[in-house]
Amino acid sequence: IWPFSLWLPNAMAAPTPVSAYLHAAAMVKGGVYLIARLAPGFAHIEPWRPLLLVLGTATMLLGGWRALRLHDLKLVLAYGTVSQLGFLTVLAGAGTYDTGLATGVMILAHALFKAPLFLVTGVVDHATGTRDLRSLS
């Protein structure tokens, strides 16, 4: 959730396998998992849902906007993760059974597709010597 997600793009200075591990493992999704676990209990407290919906939407939009403005492939993927975590927060903040299931499925799906994307980024970087999208296109 913004502003607590600001560390994530800065962690992309790590080697590509470490970046893949950070994004695939529960390290970046731990907060969303905690929100999803607490959502049924806090759903009836008045500021809970609106707060999660506003912060999740802000995180989703700011992460996506930032990803569209960058040219480093690893940073684009990192801000894509920030945006995805915002979307997961919105789902978890809804507090229903169906959105809880959707949150769990999306956490698993994100873990399965994001790590290979980072590893392919490492392959592209190794083969071409750059991660700059302007140079690659």
Structural domain harbouring 29: 16-136
Q: What percent of the chain has pLDDT over 90?
A: 28
What pTM value is reported for the model? Answer: 0.83
Q: Residues in the chain, how many?
A: 137
Tell me, what's the pLDDT at 11? Answer: 67
Residues 6+ apart with CB under 8 A from 82: 2, 5, 8, 9, 59, 62, 63, 66, 67
Residue 53: pLDDT band with limits 50, 70, 90: very high
Cβ–Cβ under 8 Å, residues 79 and 66 = yes
**Cα atoms in the 13 Å half-sphere on the side-chain side of 27:** 13
Q: Is residue 88 included in any domain, yes or no?
A: yes
Does position 95 have pLDDT exceeding 90, yes or no?
Answer: no
- The CA-atom distances, in angstroms, between 64 and each of 39, 67, 97 are 25, 5, 27
Q: Higher-confidence residue: 13 or 130?
A: 130
Q: Is residue 57 included in any domain, yes or no?
A: yes
Q: Is residue 85 included in any domain, yes or no?
A: yes
Q: How far apart are CA 97 and CA 131, in angstroms?
A: 41
Q: Is residue 3 included in any domain, yes or no?
A: no
Q: Is residue 10 included in any domain, yes or no?
A: no
* Element counts in the chain: helices (H) and strands (E): 7, 0
- Highest average pLDDT, of 19-23, 40-44, 64-68, comes from 64-68
pLDDT mean over 39-67 = 89
